[in-house]
Structure 1
């Protein structure tokens, strides 16, 4: 992520750096008790690259995930599960498991482990999707919460729309500063 910003935008990005670190950590987490420490570098590199392109795809598809949680944690975690199925080693898992219960991955010839990991990813994804849908439906039905606000409300800021004040007052001389630091006249926004 940092390299892409350096090459394409000719500057380094602290947010890109932090997002890459989080992506690497999310990717190695599933394998932390199953792979040798050196594989952490492989997991982290692959995780940050895959998550970077996942973020790009989410933006291209106009999916509103303001913190890129799905693209970083979801994709990174799923990739980490698959990589764990490939690189888990008996030398690590035997140290942490009850005797006779340790398993390993493709590097040890356990070919069934990746399909098991893929089934787990599908089950976790389905479980998360069902419960998220139920929670969103309940919030919408009971409290009237909406997942999406109007563009005008978003530009004005939900703090102003919902509670009538700015949590972070970036208003100077009658103009509201948005995320790109371009001035937007408050009077042009319809509320």
Structure 2
């Protein structure tokens, strides 16, 4: 909310909600391993990072209508890294743990990327990703399910 207020002049309900979710996503990997003060700092860092990640979507121009990458992807990756830096338990924290977190994050990212590409290729070759223009204009809720979830007009 604060980042949105500073950068865009006013907070929005969507921004506040996304910020809350981002804070929860970022702190989840750290839960049980950081002090309350560190948790607040991690939430602040995560909220700002996710805000800028969502803004970057408009510049990079990728399709992410629910800001999943900006909030969950960036937030989760950041939380996984920050647990190594902020953990209070000597067994869990420190630079060694941080480097393990980096390795785990890279391995997980590569695995998810490869699996997503394979699944995407299978979907593209079988049922496809797109619908015709009229179906998209009508809305998939209506055309696929016969009802409308949101009335925007």
TM exceeds 0.5?
A: yes
CA distance in 2, matches of 1:151, 1:8: 36
Larger Rg: 1
Contact kept in structure 2, 1:87 and 1:104, CA below 8 Å: no
Q: Secondary structure at the match of 1:167?
A: coil
Give structure 2 stretches of 5+ with no counterpart.
none
| Aligned ranges 1:119-158 → 2 under 5 Å | 119-142=103-126, 144-146=127-129, 148=130, 154-158=136-140
Give the structure 2 partner of residue 104 of structure 1: 92
Higher relative contact order, chain-length normalized (CA < 8 Å, sep 6+): 2
1:163 alignment partner, one of 121, 144, 150: 144
TM-score (norm 1): 0.69
Structure number with higher helix proportion: 2
| In 2: Cα distance, 1:18 partner to 1:51 partner | 12
| Aligned alpha-carbon RMSD (Å) | 2.5
Higher strand fraction (1 or 2): 1
Q: Which runs of 5+ in 1 are unaligned?
A: 92-102, 171-175, 178-191
How far has the Cα of 1:164 moved from its partner? 8.1
User: What TM-score does the superposition give when structure 2 sets the normalisation length?
Assistant: 0.84
